[in-house]
Amino acid sequence: MADSIDIPKIKKAQIKTTLAKTTVICITAAALNHLIFPLFVYLLKLPLFVDTVFTAAVTFSAGLIPGIITAVLTWVIGFTIKNGIIHPFIICSIAEVFIIFLLRPAVVNQQGLNEERKRAGFVNVLARLMLIYITVVVVISIMGGLIDFIFYTLLANTKADYSAEDAFKEWLFQSSPSVLVMNILSRLPVNITDRFIVVFGGYFISQAFISLPIFSGIPLNQKTK
């Protein structure tokens, strides 16, 4: 008589495999975030961060929790290890993950669809990505401005690095808006470009991610239609 199948043991093994794969994905994505940042800032001389593009890709392809883990790891690798504290701007990265997850496009089964339906589906995806992009720009600019105002103005912490928005602050200061308004508005020009690359780039990177063998067996938590 054949041995009975131990279902709980199989499920436990599957969970361990999924956790191991998810850990590798999150660590790799966080490391890639730090590779792309110097590419834009030091090599291409562009005043952009783009250091959440792989966080967005993980969120689109693997879901909310892996996205949050990648966001936290990115800040831990880039700031906490070096400075010994958790920077409050990590809140912006986590908020971006929530926005992407909540507004992400539905996955449509392309099999059996004619070309017109496929084109309509692609247009719907682009429209949803545009909605995510606009929402992220507004929310992250407001949140970032508030955090900057509280952390560097009210609490008078020293800013370690000069960033792109600081140049816009100097220009906005001539118009004498309030410091809080200045902090929010100075982020808009940077985020308009930066988050476009993050949202659209992250989505199309995620489509490549899904085809990788490491993603097999991982519940992708994607909307289906």
Encoding tokens for residue 110? 């392309």
**Over the stretch 99-155, which tens digit does the pLDDT of each residue have?**
999 999 876 555 555 566 667 678 899 999 999 999 999 999 999 999 989 988 888
Residue 11 confidence (pLDDT) above 70: yes
Number of H helices, E strands in the chain: 10, 0
| Beta-strand runs (E) in the chain | none
CA distances from 115 to 9, 120, 129, 203 (A): 45, 9, 21, 22
- What contacts 96, CB < 8 A, 6 or more positions away? 52, 55, 56, 71, 136, 139, 140, 195, 198
Domain 11-105+113-215 coded CATH 1.10.287: no
pLDDT above 90 covers what percent of the chain?
40
The domain spans of the chain are: 11-105+113-215
Identify the pLDDT of residue 155: 84
**Over the stretch 155-201, which tens digit does the pLDDT of each residue have?**
877 666 656 676 666 666 666 568 888 888 888 988 999 999 999 99
Q: How many whole angstroms separate alpha carbon 124 and alpha carbon 126?
A: 5
Mean pLDDT, rounded, of the chain = 82
